[in-house]
Structure 1
Amino acid sequence: MNFSKMTGLGNDFIIIDEKEISKEVDRSHLAKKLCDRRFGIGADGLMVLSYKQSPIFLEMYNSDGSQASTCGNALRCIGKYLYETNWTSTENIEIDTTSGIKNLQLETRDNKVYSVTVNMGVPIIHSRNLELENFNCVVIDIGNLHSVIFTPYLTDELVLEWGPEIEKHSSFENGVNVNFVHIQTRKSIRVKTWERGAGKTLACGSGASASMVAAFLKGEVENKVMVNLDGGTLEINLEEQEKVVKMKGGCDWVFHGKVIN
């Protein structure tokens, strides 16, 4: 089974054409096996591409085998993957997901993709004051569900202690992504994310988007913000007229390989 591994600011993914996977293979089990960092390839998620329909369909799995509805960093990687493997020559790509069609705008030079802007869609605000474990959360659906918690201090210990608890809180039937946010300036925020089904990651595109929207609703930031993550920086733009969120950032190849067994 041939595969590629890519990363969006340290949020890494295994990408496979579904033709490489036998019909009898349980894809959830396959994701857990391949994403294991000691006994597998190692990744935050498995992305399976289907070319049977137009637009191309992207099936997403977290490293624990659960299915994801969208992933901003993975979508940027997929845009680079499709362009640089000659599946497309256009700089505007549509990808179908379980949360709907996502539009990608590629920035290219010399047949290479240097950044990808993803239209994350219109955010849905579920609650502006949901009390969880002594935290006030802003709950936002941006293709997948995120809780956003503002904090004057931001540490890995905070994420590791409270992320797992809030992810599985009874308020969220299917779990939730958890973002801890520190406001830096009107144009800059710092975010650490505990992702549902993956744990603490170096970056989360949808989490960065949800965090920016929550900060904007609080009146803390402008409508275009640089979101600083452990793995790098994303530019998040809330287009007030259309009410859509656009996320811009880079992505990279890690390696290609073949699974023998």
Structure 2
Amino acid sequence: MVAKQDSEYDKVIDLKNIKGLTVFLSSRMRKSWHVKISRLSGHRTLTIPSYLENAPDEIKAALIDWALLPISNRRKESSLVRKSKANLEHRIQTYIKELNIPLRSTSVKPEVLEKRTMGCKFDLRSIFESINNKYFDGSLRALLRWGSRSSLTSYQSSRVAADGTGFHLITIAGVYNHPDVPQFAIEAVMYHEMLHIAVPPYRKNGRHVIHGPEFKRCERMFEHYEQWRDWEKRSLRTLARKMRRVPEFSS
């Protein structure tokens, strides 16, 4: 992560006579921030997006106050700490939303991705369109790609093309690109990632919720959900090990 210490926040820290806190700016962070505490010294390091360098003093103060809140197991947090944390985060997030910060740009070329959706057995574009029409009334749009060979993680992300156009990118784990993968499994993992577009993450009580109650309810609407989960537990890692042992498999 590209980060530098920020003198603007140092001024606020000095004015408040705060000890044991350093603020760093990160050029890679977009809409989040975090604090780390040294176990040895107790010194806190707050890392924030670089565009917050010139934020209003009240936002700087809110970030600093947030970084100084007691950190403990969430169940042990007092109601006062939780309320203070939620209020500070709401203030900061509201300011960030007003800035309308663009998503990180990417070197991914849509026209190139569309030529590479065909795997050894399944075409991601065909699977996507089938699921889109069946479960989402054809309303979703996304670019698709296979993950690295034998990779186990599928994910959905938001990107910005070179021309400034935003788009969703679904990456299907490379382990699914194998002749032994059943149709219901590739459809299920595609449905899961598409659901992240239809039911996006949100923040609640200062936490980033990805698989909330609504997401889980909708996920179980997929007709082969239980069959897919059972197959994943029994076969996914075994298949990944098999792919690592064999350099190539024929299509």
Q: Into which bin does the TM-score normalised by the smaller protein fall?
A: under 0.3
> Which has more radius of gyration?
2
Higher strand share: 1
Structure with the bigger RCO (C-alpha within 8 Å, sep 6+) is: 1
Higher helix share: 2
TM-score, length basis structure 2:
0.27
TM-score, length basis structure 1:
0.26
